[in-house]
């Protein structure tokens, strides 16, 4: 399925927040992480992310339909952070997350490195990021007795001229 990434506007915030809540609700119910789960975030946080000057939220449009979103922000210099990335439940399992990651990397070709975090206990998410060339960087953060956040990074290939 072909996708395109389209910069979100503040008028998209409510719809994106509802989609984010639906996408992360199963994880909230499984891990009971009420403090940091994207399923509990308020509208103001989505609006703030959309307005970020060094990045923003990009809608994932699949075959003309809103299917999810990916937040991209410049950490510093040529380091970029991804997260959250979410796909609406009715679109999950179709390769859209992979396509969104590739699209994000194409939007910011100047990136030397990409960083993200995901739940260690979610083997499918870890597999996705590892398949896309991300590697664990050794940093972990215990969220509660059920959930651990593990961090990944990917370094862009640099052309070498001989």
Amino acid 1: pLDDT: 73
Greatest CA separation found in the chain? 54
Amino acid 162: pLDDT: 58
Query: Does residue 35 or residue 158 have the better pLDDT?
Result: 35
User: Does residue 119 contact residue 162 with C-beta atoms inside 8 Å?
Assistant: no
Task: List CB contacts of 26: < 8 A, sequence separation 6 or more.
Answer: none
CA 161 from centre of chain: 33
Mean pLDDT (whole number) for 129-157? 96
Give the integer Cα–Cα distance in Å for 56 and 73: 6
What is the band of 161 on the pLDDT scale with cuts at 50, 70, 90?
low
Give the integer Cα–Cα distance in Å for 106 and 122: 26
DSSP 3-state of 104: helix
Q: Give residue-wise pLDDT tens across range 100-112.
A: 999 999 999 999 9
CA 84 from centre of chain: 3
Q: Give residue-wise pLDDT tens across range 56-96.
A: 999 999 999 999 999 999 998 999 999 999 999 999 999 99
Mean pLDDT (whole number) for 112-137? 97
Amino acid 145: pLDDT: 96
Q: Give residue-wise pLDDT tens across range 13-22.
A: 999 999 999 9
Q: Find, among 74, 80, 81, 9, the residue nearest to 46 by Cα.
A: 9
Give the integer Cα–Cα distance in Å for 75 and 150: 18
* Neighbouring C-beta atoms of residue 34, cutoff 10 Å: 10
Give the integer Cα–Cα distance in Å for 162 and 147: 47
Residue 59: enclosing H or E segment and its boundaries?
strand 55-62
Q: Which two tokens stand for residue 88?
A: 């609406």
What is the band of 157 on the pLDDT scale with cuts at 50, 70, 90?
confident
């Amino acid at each position: 399925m072909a996708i395109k990434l389209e910069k979100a506007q503040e008028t998209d915030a409510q719809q994106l927040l509802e989609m984010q809540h639906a996408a992360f609700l199963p994880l909230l119910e499984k891990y009971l992480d009420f403090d940091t789960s994207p399923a509990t975030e308020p509208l103001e946080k989505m609006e703030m992310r959309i307005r970020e000057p060094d990045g923003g939220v990009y809608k994932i449009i699949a075959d003309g339909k809103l299917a999810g979103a990916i937040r991209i922000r410049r950490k510093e210099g040529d380091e970029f952070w991804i997260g959250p990335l979410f796909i609406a439940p009715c679109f999950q399992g179709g390769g859209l997350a992979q396509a969104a990651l590739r699209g994000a990397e194409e939007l910011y070709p100047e990136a030397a490195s990409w960083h993200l975090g995901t739940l260690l206990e979610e083997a499918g998410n870890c597999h996705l990021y590892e398949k896309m060339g991300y590697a664990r960087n050794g940093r972990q953060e215990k969220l509660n007795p059920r959930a651990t956040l593990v961090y990944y990074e990917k370094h862009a290939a640099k052309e070498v001229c001989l």
